[in-house]
Chains A and B, each alone.
Chain A
Amino acid sequence: MKHFAVLITLLRDRKKFLTEIRQNVKVERKITSLLIASSAFFAVYGAIIGASSSWQQVISSAIKLPALYLITLLICLPTLYFFDILFGSKLTFSQYAALILTTVSVISVLLFSFAPVTLFFLISIHEYNFFLLFNVAIFTITGLVGVKMFYEGMRSVTATEDRLQLVNADLTSAPIGDFLPSDAISKAVSRSADGDLDDGLQKTRTRLLQLWLVLYAMVGCQLGWTLRPFFGAPNETFNLFRSLEGNFYGQVWRSLLTLLGVQ
C-alpha cells in the first residue's frame, strides 16, 4: 500500500526524506501516510499488550496506544513551532508536523519489530509485573532511539536551513553591478564549507529542542497514566479507565519492588 511505501522510503533513506521535508516536497501526503502507517503499527503492538487480559482490552489498547503517541504530539507541537519561529526558523507548521511524525513512525516500527518478542513473553510467562516492566523497558528503548534520531534530524535540518539563509544573505548583499562579486562569493563559500554559523542562535535552538523533548516525555507519561489501563491487571474485569490516583513513576517503582520480592 502507498502509505507503507512512504514509511519504507523513510526507513531506507532518512536523510533524503528529511531533505524533502525541508524543501516542502509533498509534505501533506507524507503526513497522511505516516499517520496511517504509524497508527497501524501502534495498534498491532497495542493489541498484543492488551491480549494479556481480555478481548475488550485488546480493542481498547489497540486504540489507546496510537492515541497516546499521536495526541502527545498534537499537544506538544504548537509549543515547538511557536518557540522555534520566535528564534528564527523558517519552516512551516506542516513541516514541523512531518518532522515529528517521522520520529513517531520510527518508534512505531521499532515497537512493531519487538512485537514477536513481546508475544513470545506473553505466551510463555504469566507474570503481570514482569510483563509490565518488560514493556516499560521496550517503550523506553524505542523512545530513546526515536528521540535520538529526531534530535539529529532536527539539528541537521535547522543547521542546513540556517546555512542556506546566510549564504543567500551574503549573495544578495553583494553590490549590484559588480561583474565578479568575489568577496561575497568567497564569504558564502567559506560559510558553507566551514559551517561558521551564528553559534548563539544555533545553541539557543538546540537547548530549546532539548527542553521540548523533556516536555514531550512528561506529557507522554502523564497522558499514558491518564489513559490507563493498557495492560489490564490479571483477575480483574475489563475497565475502560481507572481512577486518577498516584502517578506513573510510583507504579513502576512498586512493580519493580514486587518483582524483586521486596514488597
Chain B
Amino acid sequence: MQPDLEDLRITPRELENLTGLDISDTFMGRVYRPSLFHHRSRLLSFVLTEILTFGLILIFCLPISLVLARGIGHLSGDASSTFWFLVTTLGLSVAIALCWNAFMWYKGKSLKVLAHLLDEVDQHNEIIQAVDIIDQLGSVRNSTVELIDRPDVLNALNATRETLLCGLMTEKILRKNKRLIARRYELFANIETNIARLQYLQVNSQANEYGQLFNEALRIGRSVQREMERLNTD
C-alpha cells in the first residue's frame, strides 16, 4: 500500500485510544456490536462465542453444584436424583447465560452511537482497500485501469478520516461525562449563580482598583509638591 494511503487508515490501536474500549469485529468493550448480525463471518464468530461462554459457565456450575448438593445431602446416587440434579444445573447455566446476554444488551443501548461510528470506520477502511487495489492494478504495465483524480479522492478520504476521528473523540467525551451532562439544568442554575458572584467580585475589584489608582495619584502629587517646595526654598 502506498504510504499516503496507509496514513489514511484508521488502525485498531487508534480506535482503542480514541474510544477507550477494546474494539474488535464482534465486540466493542464487553458488548456485542449490532452490525455483526449483518455479516455471516461475524455471525459465526458470535455463535462460537456464545457456545464457548455457555461451555465455560457449565464447567464452573456443574462441579460447584455437585459439591454443594452432595454436601447438603440432596444427591443420593440413584438415577432419578442424578437426572434432576443435571436438569437443575443445566437450567441454572442457561439462566446465567441469559442474564449475561441481557446485561450486554442493556449496556449496548448506551453505545448505539459508537456502534454506528465503528461501522463508518469499517466502511472507510474498505474504501481505502479498494483504492489500494486500483493502485495496484494501475501499476501493472499496459493496464487501462486508472484512478481519476487521485489527489481529490485522497483529500476526500482525509476529510472523512478527520471527521470520524472527531466524532469518536466527541462520543468518548460525551459517554464519559454522561452523568454530568444529564445534570445540565442543575449546572446552568449553578453557572447563573456563579456569574452573578463573579460580577459582584469584578465590581468590587474595580472599585478597589480605582481607589488604589487614586491613592497612587495623590501620593505622586504630594511628592511632586514637596519637591517643588524644596526647590523653591533652595
Contacts and interface: CB of A to CB of B under 8 A. Distances in A.
B52 A66 contact: no
A244 interface: yes
B22 A67 contact: no
Nearest to B69: A241
A227 B69 CA distance: 12
A63 B59 CA distance: 5
A26 B22 contact: yes
Contact of B66 (A26, A36, A240): A240
B24 A241 contact: no
A30 to B, nearest CB: 11
A226 interface: yes
A217 to B, nearest CB: 18
Contact of B22 (A28, A226, A239): A28
A241 B89 CA distance: 15
B24 A2 contact: yes
B212 to A, nearest CB: 33
Given A26-B22, A243-B77, A67 B63 contact: yes
Contacts, number: 51
B203 to A, nearest CB: 39
Contacts of A2: 24
A29 B66 contact: no
Contact of A71 (B55, B64, B75): B64
Interface residues of A, number: 26
A19 B66 CA distance: 38
B56 A35 contact: yes
A241 B56 contact: no
Interface string A57-81: 0000001101110110010000000
A68 B59 CA distance: 9
Nearest to B61: A67
A248 to B, nearest CB: 15
Interface in B68-82: 70, 75, 77, 82
B70 A63 contact: no
A95 B55 CA distance: 24
Contacts of B62: 63-64, 67
B66 A244 contact: no
A103 interface: no
Given A2-B24, A29-B22, A240-B82, A227 B59 contact: no
A70 B59 contact: yes
B217 to A, nearest CB: 40
B114 interface: no
Contacts of A64: 62-63
Contacts of B77: 239, 241, 243
Interface of A: 1-3, 26, 28-29, 35-36, 39, 43, 63-64, 66-68, 70-71, 74, 223, 226-227, 239-241, 243-244
Query: What 3 A-B pairs are tightest by C-beta distance, nearest first?
Result: A67-B63, A67-B59, A66-B59
